[in-house]
Structure 1
């Protein structure tokens, strides 16, 4: 991975905030994330979790430094033109700290609840591609209103695992988000990837990106963190995604981090060296514990 000039790209760490809360509670949690040293405060785009855009605007009111991201926005929920308006308006309201992450959406039950048609994978990728192209066209058009605060537009991440999505990301994204998972046989379920599979996805991006490869930031969504804890206990909740792997296999996937902070820091350095990944996002329950690792990598 020496072609990616990784020594010049610093680590970045994000936390995905998942708990619906009052304004006061929400802003307190955002300030905690900032004080712990996180570079990105992220909000996922799932029903039953915080509404992404107002949550990020509120986070901006309570913080000064972190970037603010919808991680990951379900393109299937949105009309691209209306989404471009909301992204530009949100970027204005957060003083140019917005980062945009887009994916196809994978939870059929959420489409059903929203009264939206559940499309085959190919059709959802088609819509993601249209969304990427249209929002880039609109947000970089200096006559479009509203205009984003960032020029020419907020940084764009495309998240996914399949060949088509990664080719789209290799062509258009500033960052690529690897969830460490692929769609399972049943809608809404995921199949977690082992180290070999993740390495294969990186190779696919390298072939598709060509000369752009060195400029693309790679993100890994961490599924579980156990500081000084039992790795098997850390993966117990992942059984809702993965029922094919043994406990030992599941405990060794690259999106599970366990052990003393120094050991986890070494693991992340290894992910950087082996995969070119320099941006890691952890779930909210791990926010305080993982900060001990974060401090070692500054």
Structure 2
């Protein structure tokens, strides 16, 4: 089966703190809306991923539970293996582990951790993936590896069940969004790496949608975003893979087209878009 033929999956990335009851209510609501995966990020100032996922498991029964994504720079592999093993047990085997290099220097400074150069951050990610598998003796939960650079994509092609693509890249401390054509190039590179890896089945491909706006007026939605990307035209903004603007049906059609073009079948939205994306999810469940 090619990646473009894989069925859709949808995750919601929970970034917002709250009381225990507020957290439990949001997780129950994610399940009611039909999300397949409840995810937690790994940033300072946001919920700690592993206890948050255990709490989510206690009030849901169907969704998978994942990290999106762990900052490898925060973790010693042996200690991470302990967290993964315990969380896998306490979630009744529903855990999925997502991991990347980490990219926010200020968080490392706050935590008193070295923020390594890009190449060394990838080195640490590779070692962490290898050591995690060794510590778990081949019993690791499904693995998602996130990133856009060649080395990270090669690692994902070799080791991950899910290759998660970012809709932007960091340049000089600023985020540059990837155009539709730039995403074509990154996906083509990944496909080469996957072919070189000799794996028998393709990985699932994930994309984080940064903004969801369900509207009859796509032009107005684009006008709000254009100041962020003044170097792009309105049409180029509408084509950006990380955005979803339009009616629920229009957005559903966009995601179908992106599955065909890029192979993205697993989409993640942020928790502030969880309700708004619900009608889109319902549209796509009709497939």
TM-score range normalised by the length of the shorter chain: over 0.9
Tell me, yes or no, if the aligned pair for 2:221 and 2:245 is still in contact at 8 Å. Answer: no
4+ aligned runs moved over 2 Å, structure 1: 211-215, 229-239, 242-252
Q: CA deviation at 1:191?
A: 1.4
**1:70: which partner in 2?**
67
User: Closer, same or farther in 2 for the Cα pair 1:244/1:167, shift >3 Å?
Assistant: farther
Among 161, 176, 180, which residue is 2:163 paired with? 176
Structure 1 distance, partners of 2:229, 2:188, is 26
**1:227: which partner in 2?**
214
Tell me, yes or no, if the aligned pair for 1:183 and 1:190 is still in contact at 8 Å. Answer: yes
TM-score (normalised: structure 1):
0.89
For residues 196-241 of structure 1, the C-alpha deviation after alignment (integer angstroms, 9 at most, x for no partner) is: 11111111111111142742000000010000165554685796xx
Tell me, yes or no, if the aligned pair for 1:14 and 1:39 is still in contact at 8 Å. Answer: yes
Please state if 1:4 is matched with 2:11.
no
**1:282: which partner in 2?**
269
Among 109, 115, 126, which residue is 1:112 paired with? 109
1:152-163 aligned within 5 A: 152-163=139-150
**2:91: which partner in 1?**
94
Among 242, 259, 270, which residue is 1:255 paired with? 242
Structure 2 distance, partners of 1:207, 1:32, is 39
User: Closer, same or farther in 2 for the Cα pair 1:202/1:296, shift >3 Å?
Assistant: same
Structure 2 distance, partners of 1:182, 1:18, is 20
Instruction: Give the root-mean-square deviation of aligned CA atoms.
Output: 1.8
User: Closer, same or farther in 2 for the Cα pair 1:23/1:223, shift >3 Å?
Assistant: same
Structure 2 distance, partners of 1:286, 1:106, is 23
Please state if 1:196 is matched with 2:181.
yes
Gaps of 5+ in 1: 142-151
Gaps of 5+ in 2: none
Q: CA deviation at 1:88?
A: 0.9
For residues 37-78 of structure 1, the C-alpha deviation after alignment (integer angstroms, 9 at most, x for no partner) is: 000001111110111111000000010000001101100000
For residues 1-58 of structure 1, the C-alpha deviation after alignment (integer angstroms, 9 at most, x for no partner) is: xx61643x21000001111011111000000000000000011111101111110000
